[in-house]
Amino acid sequence: MKLWGGRFSKPTNAMVDDFNSSIRFDSRMYKQDILGSMAHVKMLGHCGIISREDSSLIYRTLQEILTDIENGQVEFEIDAEDIHMNIEKILISRIGDTGKQLHTGRSRNDQVALDIRMYLRDEISVIKKMLIELIRVLIHTSEENLTTIMPGYTHLQRAQPVTLAHHLMAYVQMFYRDHERLTDCNKRLNIMPLGSGALAGTVYPLDRDMVARELGFDAITENSMDGVCDRDFVLELASCLSILMMHASRFSEEIILWCSHEFSFIELDDAYSTGSSIMPQKKNPDIAELVRGKSGRVFGNLMALLTVLKGLPLAYNKDMQEDKEAVFDSIDTVKMCLPVFTLMIDSMKVHREKMLDAAKGGFTNATDIADYLVKKGIPFRTSHEIIGRMVAYCIENSKNIEDLDIAELKTFSVQFDTDVYEAISLNTCVNERNLPGGPAVESVKKSILKMKHILSR
């Protein structure tokens, strides 16, 4: 008989058991479930709700069950529905009626809410460490490419010269914000719901604060209905992971472009590339493509969670069982992508000359020559028009701006002098942009030092 089966006159249909069961996916929360139960039963004994002897026996037996599970000595049962009922059923099988006291003052509703918060808290910590490792690799690669000039793009058209270091440090900022979002998410997640009961609390004099301290929570939930029925912390995590994967997907798209023959800015290491079954010359950026593709499933999980929760009345509804597979899949996907993506970046070879050659084309110094005229006293809009006509002339005559001799330049403005060539050299274009946050070598060095200091705290 099921632990809740007293009201029923016949067993549930086997197909219903399978449909209703969540043990296939919530078994991964066994550790959190047992640790939560251990804190709960310790509190029950401390508060005199059950005897200290029974509390100690249940506590010790739960420890033993945890060890047995981790040693592969426990098989979970589908007809026990979920990890919570499986653990309790194993406990009762080992110590009899004493084990039936574990659920005193507790519902599966607040137990599930506790377990998922603890599990997500642990996974957030793991993902944050993966992000830090990716950021460290990006910083290291940036330090090696402080003077590697490349074209910066807008609309995927060459725009202005920057450095590879500046480009990569943009992603450092993005991924660090992802790290901060996970930290902020954890603040709202790390609130202890046990004691909410099914929806209306309990008549037992539970010490909720004691359980919160035992389990490392920052506070307890303030409303018993909210404590069991909302999953906004799951949505928030799914959103954070979606934003993270969006950043990884954008970066992947650039990696895919950069290692193409048309760009040839980088070459991926053989260990992080694949070949073609029919074309022997191919070297494919499958890791980057898969990261780009897997972002879609993470976005989809967020939309699935929003859809599941959008119409639910208070308080708990069985629909909420659907929260776990979606967020678990997002977690698994991110944890799969980040390490291999980090190694791919760390091992890639940068073709500095190719990047420099690309920066020399496409008139990436056009803004700088316009600024040169502004410094000579010409209003910017007038200067903009002059350089626009100059670019049109260069295109018609298959020249770059720096190829024009001084006589040609003076046909556009008498303000041009020989110092213009230094002003529009790519090194000058990059290093004159030395405001905080700019691409100048010294600015990027300061940005790197600042991020290193943040990571060292």
pLDDT in tens, 360-382: 999 999 999 999 999 999 999 99
Residue 12 has pLDDT above 80, yes or no: no
Show Cβ contacts of residue 163 under 8 Å, excluding neighbours closer than 6 positions.
145, 146, 147, 148, 149, 150, 430, 439, 441, 444
Whole-number Å distance between alpha carbons of 291 and 148: 26
- As annotated, the active-site residues are 155, 276
pLDDT tens figures, 285-334:
999 999 999 999 999 999 999 999 999 999 988 888 889 999 999 999 99
* Domains of the chain, first to last: 15-104 (1.10.275.10), 109-357 (1.20.200.10), 361-456 (1.10.40.30)
Cα(253)–Cα(251) distance, integer angstroms: 5
pLDDT per position as a tens digit, 154-188: 999 999 999 999 999 999 999 999 999 999 999 99
Identity of the amino acid at 179 = H
Per-residue pLDDT, averaged over 249-271, amounts to: 97
What is the C-alpha to C-alpha distance for residues 23 and 90, in angstroms, rounded to an integer? 14
What pLDDT, in 10s, does the model give residues 202-229?
999 999 999 999 999 999 999 999 999 9
High-pLDDT (> 90) share of the chain, %: 89
Contact of 198 with 107, CB cutoff 8 Å: yes
Contact 136, 171 (CB under 8 A): no
Take residue 271 and report the two structure tokens written for it: 């260990």
**CB contact set of 229 (below 8 Å; sequence gap of 6+):** 109, 199, 312, 314, 315, 316, 317, 320
Encode pLDDT of 370-429 as tens digits: 999 999 999 999 999 999 999 999 999 999 999 999 999 999 999 999 999 999 999 999
Position 34 pLDDT exceeds 80: yes
Contact 416, 103 (CB under 8 A): no
Q: How far apart are CA 285 and CA 153, in angstroms?
A: 21
| Amino acid 276: pLDDT | 84
Closest by alpha carbon to 444, among 147, 232, 199?
147
Query: How many CB atoms within 10 Å of residue 280?
Result: 7
Q: What are phi and psi of 345, to 5 degrees?
A: -65, -45
Q: What region, left, alpha or beta, does residue 264 occupy, with left being phi > 0 and alpha being psi -120 to 50 degrees?
A: left
∠ at Cα 316 (313, 317), nearest 5°?
A: 75
What are the start-end ranges of the E strands in 289-372?
Answer: 349-350
pLDDT at 130: 98
What is the predicted pLDDT for the residue at 16?
63
Which residue reads 């790390």 in tokens?
190
Residues in the chain, total: 457
Structure pTM? Answer: 0.93
* Model pLDDT, residue 22: 81
- Cβ count near 362 (within 10 Å): 16
Q: Are 455 and 129 in contact (CB under 8 A)?
A: no
